[in-house]
Amino acid sequence: MDKNKALESVNEIKELMEKSSRFVSLSGMTAVLAGIYSLIGSYLAVGTLSSGASHVELIVIASVVLVAAAITAYILSWYKAKKTGQKFFSKITYRIAWNFSLPLLVGGLFCIALLMHKDYGLISSVMLLFYGLSLVNASKFTYSNLGWLGYSFLCLGIIDCFFEGHALMFWTIGFGGFHILYGVLFYLQYERKK
């Protein structure tokens, strides 16, 4: 009996240390919803491309997907932090936000430069690669398996570089499929137990 109490105490201490040093307010539902938004965006992009619309419309679709995913991540993370009694705005929150945002911002500016020069061929690769870097960078401050999602995006982005004319397919696999798969696995590993 004493052995079980000691083990419970160690687990409680471990959980408290993890909460104070890691951002643990991520939710599997956030990734699933981001994936669904991406699939909807891909569907709309196919319709836009088949109607012969300009690249500006594709940029608007991608921007709406990004904003919707960001707002969803914020709301669900805030809700999970509140539910678990954690402080949402902390040094860890700012660290993860900075480490996630910096590669994303650089990649976004690079994509804008490619658009300005009408060099559309590698834009989806750049999006996948810099998003993967953002995830790997942010994984240092949250669940380590987020890094594996980042590595998946990096690999997909590299593959996308070598297959011209299939950008939307790779973008959909990454931002749609990978997010949904990760969200389900995250839920099964971390959230279902609680």
pLDDT in tens, 118-174: 888 899 999 999 999 999 999 998 888 999 999 999 999 999 999 988 999 999 999
Give the number of other CB atoms < 10 A from CB of residue 71: 10
Answer yes or no: are the C-beta atoms of 126 and 104 closer than 8 Å.
no
Which phi and psi (to 5°) does residue 177 adopt?
-65, -50
Hey, what are 26's tokens? Answer: 């991520």
Residue length of the chain: 194
Burial 45-63 (b: 16+ CB within 10 A, else e): beebeeeeeeeeebeebbe
Q: Say how far apart CA 54 and CA 57 lie, in whole Å.
A: 6
- Model confidence at 105, pLDDT cuts 50, 70, 90, reads very high
Average pLDDT for the chain: 88
pTM for the whole thing? 0.85
With a cut of 80, say whether residue 43 has pLDDT above it: yes
User: Could you tell me the residue ranges of all domains in the chain?
Assistant: 27-191
Which phi and psi (to 5°) does residue 62 adopt?
-60, -40
Nearest to 41 by CA among 17, 18, 67, 16: 67
Nearest to 75 by CA among 27, 140, 35, 39: 27
With a cut of 70, say whether residue 38 has pLDDT above it: yes
Answer yes or no: are the C-beta atoms of 152 and 130 closer than 8 Å.
no
With a cut of 60, say whether residue 114 has pLDDT above it: yes
Q: Say which residue, 23 or 74, is predicted with more confidence.
A: 74
The stretch 80-94 carries a mean pLDDT of 83
Answer yes or no: are the C-beta atoms of 43 and 65 closer than 8 Å.
no
